[in-house]
Amino acid sequence: MKRMTGLWRSGLAALLLWCAWPALAAELPSLSLADAKAKQAVILDTRPSYFYQGWPMAGETQGGHVAGAEHLSAEWKYSDEEWPKALASKGLKADLPVALYGAPREVAEVARLLRQQGIKQLFELQGWQSAPREHLARWQQLVYPLWLADLQAGKPVAAAPKGEWKVFEVDWGAPKAYLLSHIPGAGYIDTNRLEAEPLWNKVSDEALKQLLLENGIRHDTTVILYGRNTMAAARAAHLMMYAGVEDVRLLDGGLDAWFVQHLRTETGLANKFEPVKEFGVTIPAHPEYYTTLSQAKALLEQPDGALVSVRTWDEFVGNTSGYSYIKPKGDIPGAKWGRGGVDANSMSDFHNPDGTMKPASEILAMWDEWDIEPTQQAAFYCGTGWRASEAFFYAWLMDWKRISVYDGGWYEWSSDPANPTVTGERKPKG
Catalytic residue numbers read 382
Does residue 193 contact residue 265 with C-beta atoms inside 8 Å? no
Please list the alpha-helical segments (H only) found in 40-144: 49-53, 83-89, 104-116
Tally Cβ neighbours within 10 Å of residue 264: 10
Question: Residue 421 to residues 80, 168, 330: CA-CA distances in angstroms?
Answer: 38, 38, 6
Q: What is the pairing mode between strands 290-291 and 403-406?
A: parallel
Does residue 306 contact residue 375 with C-beta atoms inside 8 Å? no
| Cis-peptide, bond into residue 284, ω within 30° of zero | yes
Three-state DSSP at 226 gives strand
Does residue 351 contact residue 394 with C-beta atoms inside 8 Å? no
Q: Which residues does residue 259 pair with via DSSP β-bridges, in sequence order?
A: none
- In degrees, rounded to 5, the angle at the alpha carbon of residue 227 between the alpha carbons of residues 202 and 87 is 110
d(C-alpha 130, C-alpha 67), whole Å: 11
Tally Cβ neighbours within 10 Å of residue 301: 8
Q: Which residues does residue 287 pair with via DSSP β-bridges, in sequence order?
A: none
Question: Residue 212 to residues 205, 256, 392: CA-CA distances in angstroms?
Answer: 11, 26, 21
Does residue 354 contact residue 230 with C-beta atoms inside 8 Å? no
d(C-alpha 348, C-alpha 325), whole Å: 23
First to last CA, the chain: 68
d(C-alpha 114, C-alpha 93), whole Å: 10
* 330: nearest Cα among 340, 339, 319: 319
d(C-alpha 173, C-alpha 191), whole Å: 7
